[in-house]
Amino acid sequence: MALAISRGDKISALPDSILLHILSFLHFKTVVATSILFRRWRNLWHSAPTVDLDDALFLGKEELFIRFAYAVMLSRDLTQPILKFRLKAQHSSYAQCDVNSWVNSAIERKVETIELSFSINSAIKLSIGILTCATLVVLKLENINVDRILTVHLPALKTLCMNWVSFAKSEYREKILSGCPNIHHLQITGSSLLWLRSYPLHTRTFRRLIHVDLSHYNCNWLLILRLLNSCPLLQNLVVTKVISGTKEFDLQHNRYPVPRCLSSHLRSCTLKNFDGTEVGIQFATYIMQNTSVIKTMTICCPITSYLK
């Protein structure tokens, strides 16, 4: 026991910067629990670089979760940055003002990563402060509504994931993408690509985008090519078909310029839930015929499907 305490005292003697770095590798629940170790650790968790608020730890106790979230966010020193803020709230009754308060508190502390995940029935809307956060590098959104956008300026953002995000206006999606000039990784799930028809991609080029992951309804292969044409350095493409509910363009009867990324940078292409439709096969063939640097072409078919 004496030996254990001695070792604990040696760890506690380390500078705050090292202790906080150690805490960054732990689950947030464990980080909070360190407050009972020694007096030295009592308030250290308030400065942890990662804040992970998950109401799964408060089953049936939503009010307790809200009080805990406020305690975590409002007790922090403004000089201590939050590198990663994650809010996973599966209960659908949280107030918008509470969510905004927690998110804005993270933004004030120069947050670099924000992950927001809500229940499928949630009416939570995106805090507009997120879209002008100059320090934000990673933004992941799930089951959230975008009903209002004023300005989008995310100069440091490199990763954008929008899973089942609903937009009050189709141009909001376009505005978000246009406000991310340095994006490297783009993931969109549960969305139609028909908005690309009116999106002026010929005037917008994602020069740093290297990974695109699309999972959507109303799969339209020609519109995907149109998107690729604005990504000259794209290296990895993943397309998952959820439902093919609309008539697709026939690539054989549409003269379309070959995107530059196919001939110079595309290293891998993965087509998931591939059902073997004629136009789908045309797309896969088009990729193989027009790329010279691809190393991996992966086609995943549902168990119940077959190729004609």
Query: What pLDDT digit, counting tens, does each position of 50-70 carry?
Result: 888 888 878 778 888 899 889
Evaluate if residue 132 carries a pLDDT over 50: yes
Q: Confirm whether 134 is domain-assigned.
A: yes
Q: Confirm whether 3 is domain-assigned.
A: no
Task: Clarify whether residues 37 and 69 are in a common domain.
Answer: no
55: Cβ contacts below 8 Å, ≥ 6 apart? 62, 65, 88, 89, 90, 91
Q: Confirm whether 4 is domain-assigned.
A: no
Evaluate if residue 154 carries a pLDDT over 80: yes
Task: Clarify whether residues 282 and 304 are in a common domain.
Answer: yes
Task: Clarify whether residues 162 and 241 are in a common domain.
Answer: no
Task: Clarify whether residues 54 and 177 are in a common domain.
Answer: yes
Residue type, 95: A
More confident of the two residues 238 and 19: 238
Number of domains the chain contains: 3
* Average pLDDT score over residue span 207-234: 85
* Model pTM score: 0.81
Looking at residue 295, what is its pLDDT? Answer: 94
Domain end position, chosen among 183, 215, 230: 183
Structural domain including 25 reads: 11-48
Task: Clarify whether residues 294 and 278 are in a common domain.
Answer: yes
Secondary structure of residue 202 in the 3-state scheme: helix
Q: Confirm whether 2 is domain-assigned.
A: no
135: Cα separation from own chain's centroid: 15
- Over pLDDT 90: what percentage of the chain? 38
Looking at residue 137, what is its pLDDT? Answer: 98
272: Cβ contacts below 8 Å, ≥ 6 apart? 215, 238, 239, 240, 241, 300
Handedness of CA 138, 111, 33, 38 (dihedral sign): positive
Q: Confirm whether 87 is domain-assigned.
A: yes
Looking at residue 17, what is its pLDDT? Answer: 61
Burial of 89 (0-12, 13-18, 19+ CB in 10 A): buried
Q: Which helix H or strand E contains 167, and what residues bound it?
A: strand 166-167
Looking at residue 211, what is its pLDDT? Answer: 97
Most confident of the ranges 5-14, 19-28, 98-107: 98-107
Task: Clarify whether residues 197 and 160 are in a common domain.
Answer: no
**CA geometry: angle 6, 11, 14, nearest 5 deg:** 135
Q: Among 167-176, 190-199, 249-258, 292-301, where is mean pLDDT lowest?
A: 249-258
253: Cβ contacts below 8 Å, ≥ 6 apart? none
Looking at residue 307, what is its pLDDT? Answer: 47
38: Cα separation from own chain's centroid: 37
Q: Confirm whether 297 is domain-assigned.
A: yes
